Amino acid sequence: MLNMNNIIIITGVAGFIGYSLADKLLNKRYSIIGIDAMFGSGENLRLKQRRLEILQEYKAFKFVNVDLSLMNNNLIDVFSQADVVIHLAASPGVRQSMKTPEPYMQNNIHAFANVIDLCHCARIGKFIYASSSSVYGDVITNGAIIPLTEDMDTNHPQSVYSMTKKSNELLAYVYSSAFGIKTIGLRLFSVYGPFGRIDMAPWIFAQSILENKVITLYDEGKMIRDFTYIDDVTSAITAVLEQDIDKNYSIYNVGSSNPHSVITLLHTIEHKLGIKANYISSKALEGDVKYTCASTDLIRKNYTLPPATNFSEGISLFCKWIKAVSYTHLRAHETRGNL
């Protein structure tokens, strides 16, 4: 059973989910070793730097700046200090993976292989990693929207990104079966919230509305997504971290189980900000799927989780946060908790 004396490694710690999880666990008095290569530029890099600045205010946080796609022999000493590794580092984004696939091979496949092998060498007791709802691809259901379950076919990825995440799941299976490592993969569904990703629809829509920029709605906003608030994701990861089940290899969906269309997302953000959006429609892009909808029955059967955040409430919290953000410089003392 995990206790506060255990040390947890979080990779991708300056990313959206990595930061949010580290902040939560540090407040619970865990000791965290955060790993990140700090890739990026412009607003994306500034956001990463601000997240890292906040985490470095905690005495129980240590940071290691390293590219995990390149095997570093010194990392075995770092991993040997930890009891659990939570691997969140990756290149995100379905659409971008179809334009520039090489970083996804490096950061999502090579890095994953290096990290799970380090876990094996360092005898890590539990390895938790982020997979993605994109592994399901487009499920053909004659127009009906059905919850996606973990036992469905995931052998037909529709993007380079989804292929890399499926590859992660397969490699985790190999290490679990061959070496007995307890691996838990979490298929995350369209995560949003404060300090979120600037390339995802909630941020793009809200920022564009606030700056009176024209928004492009792909497929006329008809695509449906299971938008999942960040606190629900960190609660799920924390539950998997703290609660043990007797199974070496597991995969779970983490979502809200309450999907909405992209056009509904836009109209909800308009309402919460009190400003009308300017938008144009365009055709769907390569790699986009028509819908995602998570069945969370399996994870809720095995772990105790709070109810999912209501969509309207989550968007309201996100809009309240983003209105308080300066886009050129994130305020020196702002945190998720006081916005």
Residues carrying an active site annotation:
161
Strands (E), the chain: 7-11, 31-36, 61-65, 84-87, 126-132, 182-188, 191-192, 214-218, 224-225, 228-229, 249-254, 260-261, 278-282
Residue 320 CA to residue 316 CA, distance in Å, equals: 6
Cross-strand pairs, 34: 10, 63
Residue 112 CA to residue 118 CA, distance in Å, equals: 10
Quick check: 86 and 10 in contact, CB under 8 A?
yes
Task: Report how far apart, in Å, the C-alpha atoms of 77 and of each of 22, 119, 314 are.
Answer: 21, 11, 40
Residue 122 CA to residue 79 CA, distance in Å, equals: 6
Phi/psi at 101 (nearest 5 deg)?
Answer: -70, -25
Residue 294 CA to residue 133 CA, distance in Å, equals: 8
**Token duo for residue 279:** 């938008």
- Using DSSP, state whether 32 is helix, strand or coil: strand
